[in-house]
Structure 1
Amino acid sequence: MVNQDTFTGPSFSLKNRIGRAIWGIVAGILFRLSPRPFHSWRSFLLRCFGAKVGRGVHVYPGVKIWAPWNLELADECGVANGAILYSLAKITIGRRAVVSQGAHICAGTHDYTRPGSPLVAMPIQINDFAWVAAEAFIHPGITIGEGCVVGARSVVTKDMPSWMVCAGHPCKPLKERIMVDAVSLV
């Protein structure tokens, strides 16, 4: 951050603000207006702005991304329309992880205990096979464990464990997530 007093000026450098302005134009025209099945095109655009994007990633056109250069999207992950990736710090979404519609992944806040309420940015890690369900809110600095399910409209203020179903406000582990073998269903 270039400024510790949010009342007297911007928290980010001029270079950062120019980059976000250019991204905003590109996102508004080439990203958001692209047809839904054009996942490769949107992945290409994200890579052009510094995102690390794996193979088979599905980012839908209605996703709002603050700074693509702070994104890392592993193979076959998905981010649904209406999701917000507020990437003031790095947001990592693991292999085959899903961020559902309307989920808000928020990597920044303000330190209200200090004069000027300086911006605080902390990375968020959503591990492989995790699912952040519709309209959940993930606070800055959180890690969602591998295979964890975060229930719809949950508010995650602490790290969530692997292979658990978690929900609530505040979000808490409720039960173990047990995967059913697809072969046994046939």
Structure 2
Amino acid sequence: MYNKDTVSGPSFSIYNRLFRLIWQIAASLFFAYTPKQLHGWRSFLLRLFGAKVGRGVHVYPKVKIWAPWNLQLEDQCGIANGVILYSQGKIIIGRRAVVSQGAHLCTGTHDYTDPGFPLITKPIRVGDFAWVAAEAFVHPGVTIGEGCVIGARSVVTKDMPPWMVCSGHPCRPIKGRVEEELKQKRFLEPVS
């Protein structure tokens, strides 16, 4: 971090803020108003700004991304319109994972015990084949396990286990998700 006293100044350097301004201009001109089908173009633009983007990724035009250089999007993942990727820290979305409309993944918070209220960033990881449903909120530092489903409007404050359906405020595991059923449906075949 650039400044540990957010009362007296910004948390990030002038270089970081300038680069984010350039990204915001590029995103508003070349990303946000593109046709839905132009996933390849948006992936190219994200790569241009430092994101690691796998093959067959679907990022829709109305996704809000704070800093693309802190994104890692694995093969065939999908990020729906209205998603907020508040990537002050690293966000990793796994292979064939889905983040649905209005979900908010937030990697930044503040240390409320310090009078300077310094920014704290912690990475978020969404495992392969996981689904973060509509309008869920994921806190900094959370890992969502492989194949995990996060229910709509859940508030995820801690790590969620693999192959479970989880929901609530705070989010908690509800029931198992059967991995074998997905394998039979060929969802877990390797990406070619």
Q: Mark yes or no: TM-score above 0.5.
A: yes
- What letter corresponds to residue 115 of structure 2 in structure 1? P
Pairs within 5 Å for 1:90-105: 90-105=90-105
Aligned to 2:10: 10
Q: C-alpha distance in 2, partners of 1:107/1:151?
A: 20
Query: 2:189 maps to what in 1?
Result: none
Structure 1 Cα separation of the partners of residues 117 and 170 of structure 2: 24
1:72 is displaced (CA, Å) by: 0.1
2:45 maps to 45
Give the percent of matched residue pairs that are identical in Structure 1 and Structure 2.
Answer: 70
Question: Equivalents in 2 of 1:50, 1:65: separation in Å?
Answer: 12
Structure 1 residue aligned with 2:185: 182
Q: How big is each residue's C-alpha offset from its partner over 1:60-112, in whole Å with a ceiling of 9 and x where there is no partner? A: 00000000000000000000000000000000000000000000000000110
Q: Distance in 1 between matches of 2:173 and 2:109?
A: 24
70-79 vs 1-10, greater mean Cα deviation: 1-10
Aligned-pair Cα RMSD in Å: 0.8
Query: In the alignment, does 2:158 pair up with 1:158?
Result: yes
**What are the ranges of 5 or more consecutive residues in structure 1 without an aligned counterpart?**
none
CA distance in 2, matches of 1:137, 1:46: 23
Once structures 1 and 2 are overlaid, which stretch shifts more, 172-181 or 51-60?
172-181
For 1:125-172, what per-residue CA distance to the aligned partner results, in whole angstroms no more than 9, with x for missing partners?
A: 001000000000000000000000000000000000000000000000
Q: What amino acid is aligned across from residue 24 of structure 1 in structure 2?
A: Q
Q: Distance in 2 between matches of 1:15 and 1:72?
A: 21
User: Which residue does 2:20 correspond to in 1?
Assistant: 20
Query: Structure 2: 5+ residue runs without aligned partners?
Result: 187-192
Q: Where does structure 1 differ by over 6 angstroms across 4 or more consecutive aligned residues?
A: none
Deviation (angstroms), 1:52: 0.1
How far off its partner does 1:178 sit? 1.5
Deviations 1:13-72 (A, max 9, x none): 111001100000000010001100000000000000000000000000000000000000
How far does residue 120 in structure 1 lie from its aligned partner after superposition?
0.4
TM-score (norm. length: structure 1): 0.97
Q: TM-score, normalised by structure 2?
A: 0.94
2:66 corresponds in structure 1 to 66
